[in-house]
Structure 1
Amino acid sequence: MNGYSRRSVLRRSRSVLAVGATAIAGCLGGSGPSGPTVTMTGDLRFDPGEVAIDPGQQVTWVNESGVPHTASAYEEGIPDEASYFASGGYESEQAVRLSTSARGFLERGETYSYTFDVTG
């Protein structure tokens, strides 16, 4: 786990990633046929850009830093009709924040992909 506890990483970096009313992505890589790629860095910040996502389009998060990250939605930032998503299979933002396990952490080089079911 590289010496990082889940709680301290979430608290310090608020590294829970969000996809809002318009799916947002920081440090966007190329947009291939399946959709954009979000590059996660070790900045312990998330300063998103914006990208429109169509239903059925997949976004992939890739951790290129040595700092474990999760890829999780902020519930207040996704459309009402959208399904919640999080690496690690959590069913709510609160469950991610309260977890004391490393479930869902992406280590360097690991990816998480999510296919969106509504326009955002």
Structure 2
Amino acid sequence: MQRRGYLAAVGTATAATLAGCSSLLSSFDDNPCAGEDCHIGMSRTEFHPEVYEVSVGDTVVWQNTSEADHTVTAYEDLIPEDAEYFASGGYESQTAAYEAWDDRGGRLGTRDTYEHTFEVPGSYEYFCIPHEGAEMIGEIVVTE
């Protein structure tokens, strides 16, 4: 009988511990860069946060916090006119980034990072090439 009581107690303690972990994991999903050296994380098909605000001259760091491959690719027509184009892999245009993806160019694997410094105020919309169809898009808002 003592063995059954012990197993019941261990099972209850384990369940309580795992319940705490699930709430921790759901908060991680909301802000996967909390406590990390990044500003924007990536889940399977989303950037977290989707909209991020910085000041002119700030550097934003994205980190792939999922198991899927991702890119950070600016929409060429949805960034300020005088702004420098940005894409993981260092491509100079949206077309070049699309073409490079055929060979996995610009790929960010799990825990890989990409950073870009924003010098022109305005709104910058970007996306993930392999998950564009799933609407994996984000926006950086740069203020003076």
TM-score range relative to shorter protein:
0.5 to 0.7
Alignment-mate amino acid for residue 39 of structure 2: T
The partner residue of 1:38 within 16, 37, 40 is: 40
1:95 maps to which residue?
Answer: 96
Higher relative CO (CA 8 A, sep ≥ 6), structure 1 or 2? 1
Q: Find the structure with the greater CA-based Rg.
A: 2
Query: Following TM superposition, by how much is the alpha carbon of 1:94 offset from its aligned partner in structure 2, in angstroms?
Result: 1.1
Q: After TM superposition, which residue ranges in structure 1, 4 or more long, deviate above 3 angstroms?
A: 26-32, 45-49
Structural mapping, 1:1-120, within 5 Å: 29=33, 37-42=39-44, 44-45=45-46, 49-99=50-100, 100-119=102-121, 120=142
Cα gap change, 1:112 to 1:28, in 2 (>3 Å): same
Aligned length: 92
Cα gap change, 1:27 to 1:72, in 2 (>3 Å): farther
Structure 2 unmatched ranges of 5 or more: 1-29, 122-141
What CA distance in whole angstroms lies between the structure 1 residues aligned with 2:34 and 2:48? 18
Instruction: Please identify which structure carries the higher helix content.
Output: 2
Maintained 8 Å contact 1:54/1:118: no
Percent pairwise identity: 36
Query: Following TM superposition, by how much is the alpha carbon of 1:60 offset from its aligned partner in structure 2, in angstroms?
Result: 0.5
Cα gap change, 1:47 to 1:31, in 2 (>3 Å): closer
Alignment-mate amino acid for residue 73 of structure 1: A
State the SS of the aligned residue for 1:87. coil
Structure 1 unmatched ranges of 5 or more: 1-25
